[in-house]
């Protein structure tokens, strides 16, 4: 199955909300093959808050090896915990803290 409609919706959300994204998806090629792609992008707003600049890239997933380093992952989880605290999302803070402890206890 093809994911173009889902990807189009995701890009639209990024343009409206301004949050960067990374999204894997599949397309059906003209010769009937399914290709796995990885799309990354973000949208910057001008001084009036109007979306003004969209930048992104689409990569063929089979040709890209994605590696997540534990230190980088921990940094993202810590940032998410800080954001959840600011937003008053205590349940999210608990789940994220548990994930962070799990990473640390695995020696990663």
Contacts of 47 (CB under 8 A, 6+ apart): none
- Inform me whether the pLDDT recorded for 108 exceeds 50: no
Per-residue model confidence (pLDDT) at position 31: 92
Predicted confidence (pLDDT) per residue in 28-76, tens digit:
888 988 888 888 888 888 888 888 888 888 888 765 555 545 556 777 7
Please report, rounded to a whole number, the percentage of residues in the chain having pLDDT higher than 70: 83
Please, what are the domains in the chain? 4-63 (2.10.70.100), 70-105 (no CATH)
Helices (H) and strands (E) in the chain, counts: 3, 3
Per-residue model confidence (pLDDT) at position 35: 85
Average pLDDT in the chain:
79
């Amino acid at each position: 199955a093809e994911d173009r409609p889902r990807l189009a919706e995701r890009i639209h959300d990024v343009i409206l909300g301004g949050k960067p994204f990374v999204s894997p998806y599949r397309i059906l090629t003209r010769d009937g093959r399914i290709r796995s792609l990885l799309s990354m992008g973000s949208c910057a707003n001008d001084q009036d808050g109007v979306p003004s600049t969209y930048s992104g890239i689409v990569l063929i997933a089979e040709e890209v090896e994605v590696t997540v380093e534990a230190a980088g992952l921990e940094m993202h989880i810590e940032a998410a915990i800080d954001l959840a605290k600011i937003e008053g999302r205590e349940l999210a803070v608990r789940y994220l803290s548990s994930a962070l402890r799990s990473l640390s206890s695995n020696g990663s």
